[in-house]
Amino acid sequence: MIRLRIRKRLIMIFTAAAVAVSGAAITSVITKSAAASEAPYTTDEPKPSAIPQAAPTDTPAPLNQDSTPAPVTEDETLPAVKIKEILPVTKTSMKVTWEKVPEADGYYIYHIQNSGELEKLKKIKDNTVTVFTDKGLAYGETYRYVVRTYKVYDGKTYFGSYDKEGCEKKLKVKSVYKKGYKYYYDMDGNRIYDALPFIGKKVSYLIKVNIAKNVTTIYAKDGKKGYTIPVKVFLCSGNKHDTLGTYTLGTKYRYRTLFHNTYGQWTIRIHDSILFHTVVYKNSHDPDSLDVKEYNKLGTSASHGCIRLKCSDAKWIYDNCGYGTKVIFYKSSNPGPLGKPKLEKLPKWHTWDPTDPNMQYKCKEKNCKHELL
């Protein structure tokens, strides 16, 4: 009986304590709620200027200031380069050309060794340059090439993927007779349009000028077969009324006054007042006074009777074709065995011939990009 009373008493004490604690908690909640409700209630949104702004963070500028996305990791690669052509240009050199990759900063050109390792040949820091001539090679040997893109971003260099097999080429040419002419081809069957580096300099040449197509072709002698090796082709401007026939080269003039107060370089008399010479200049002995409008007419009938040429082509005839060299003027719808070259036209401000060896410094100063040089 006594134990029962004590148990009931303990239950009453614990119940009272629990009620007291609960009441204190409720009072605390009510107090906090009341404090929170002291500020007047409003539905107005805060003004934009009152919205806290995130602290500015440093973000890298876009690559090349364009929309090219930045690489995320060092493993992310740029597009692979597609090599368009590898062509022998001399017995000790080959020219590699490839397609431009706009996303790249530039390119690395490599040899692939037999072990599979890459031997760096050159770094090109301009993605618009898509040609490289590999020199000092051994005639008859085979070479493998790789062109790989790169891009520098945030202090890191990212490389494009590449074909580990590369592109292979043998530095060798072969001759083939077709329709009375002797042509030269590489071992893959591509025609060599400038065969002279493979056959060597000759004592004499034949020059044929197609007045209808404004093309001048140079022929080398193939023994008793005569001048049947087309070795060079030049774009020119003649006159559709030029007299056809066979002539011989005469006097040479380093500089020469021409019609209408114009001037020419590397000038050679063909017959009477008809000459080989460069595109005309406005000032005497001034290679920076090229008549750009006339230069851009190369390949059309634009002269007063003379045969206009680029500086490099006029100089080649001047240097390699002696007095008495035969020149044949003819007309044909066929431009000739080496076809008709294309002209890279010049802007108005380019008042010098880009093929003039004395004016190369101007192209470097202006950072010119000439595809045909």
Query: Tokens 């082509």 sit at which residue?
Result: 313
The answer as to whether 358 is a domain residue is no
Q: Do 211 and 111 belong to one domain?
A: no
Cα distance between residue 337 and residue 56, in whole Å: 68
State residue 79's pLDDT score.
86
Cα distance between residue 74 and residue 61, in whole Å: 18
State residue 45's pLDDT score.
41
State residue 259's pLDDT score.
85
> Which residues face 290 on adjacent strands?
281
Q: Do 150 and 278 belong to one domain?
A: no
State residue 76's pLDDT score.
53
- The sign one gets for the Cα dihedral 74, 75, 80, 86 is positive
What CATH number did the domain enclosing 88 receive? Answer: 2.60.40.10
The answer as to whether 54 is a domain residue is no
The residue among 99, 89, 113 whose CA lies nearest residue 195 is 89
Q: Do 221 and 305 belong to one domain?
A: yes
What CATH number did the domain enclosing 248 receive? Answer: 2.40.440.10
DSSP state of 349: T
The answer as to whether 40 is a domain residue is no
Q: Do 205 and 159 belong to one domain?
A: no
Radius of gyration of the chain from Cα atoms? 40
State residue 368's pLDDT score.
87
CB 145 within 8 A of CB 166: yes
Instruction: Provide the residue type at 302 as one letter.
Output: A
State residue 369's pLDDT score.
75
DSSP state of 40: P
Instruction: Provide the residue type at 247 as one letter.
Output: Y
Q: Do 265 and 338 belong to one domain?
A: yes
Q: Do 162 and 242 belong to one domain?
A: no
Rounded to 5 degrees, what are φ and ψ at 140? 95, -10
CB 92 within 8 A of CB 136: yes
The answer as to whether 26 is a domain residue is no
Q: Do 158 and 203 belong to one domain?
A: no
The answer as to whether 218 is a domain residue is yes
CB 275 within 8 A of CB 268: yes
Cα distance between residue 41 and residue 48, in whole Å: 20
Q: Do 213 and 135 belong to one domain?
A: no
CB 132 within 8 A of CB 95: yes
Cα distance between residue 91 and residue 87, in whole Å: 11
> Which range marks the domain in which residue 100 is found?
79-170
The answer as to whether 292 is a domain residue is yes
> Which residues face 93 on adjacent strands?
90
DSSP state of 339: -
The residue among 218, 206, 217, 216 whose CA lies nearest residue 249 is 206
Number of domains in the chain: 2
> Which residues face 145 on adjacent strands?
111, 167
Contacts of 7 by beta carbon, 8 Å cutoff, 6+ apart: none
The answer as to whether 370 is a domain residue is no
Q: Do 164 and 229 belong to one domain?
A: no
Q: Do 269 and 345 belong to one domain?
A: yes
Q: Do 128 and 237 belong to one domain?
A: no
Counting every residue, how long is the chain?
373
DSSP state of 5: H
Q: Do 106 and 222 belong to one domain?
A: no
CB 250 within 8 A of CB 322: no
Q: What is the pLDDT along the chain (373 residues), one digit of tens a residue?
A: 434 443 444 444 444 444 343 444 434 433 443 333 333 333 344 444 333 444 443 333 333 333 444 444 444 568 889 999 999 999 999 999 999 999 999 999 999 999 989 999 999 999 999 999 999 999 999 999 999 999 998 889 999 988 889 999 999 999 999 999 999 999 999 999 999 999 999 999 999 999 999 999 999 999 999 999 999 999 999 999 999 999 999 999 999 999 888 999 999 999 999 999 999 999 999 999 999 999 999 999 999 999 999 999 999 999 999 999 999 999 999 999 999 999 999 999 999 999 999 999 999 999 887 753 3
The answer as to whether 306 is a domain residue is yes
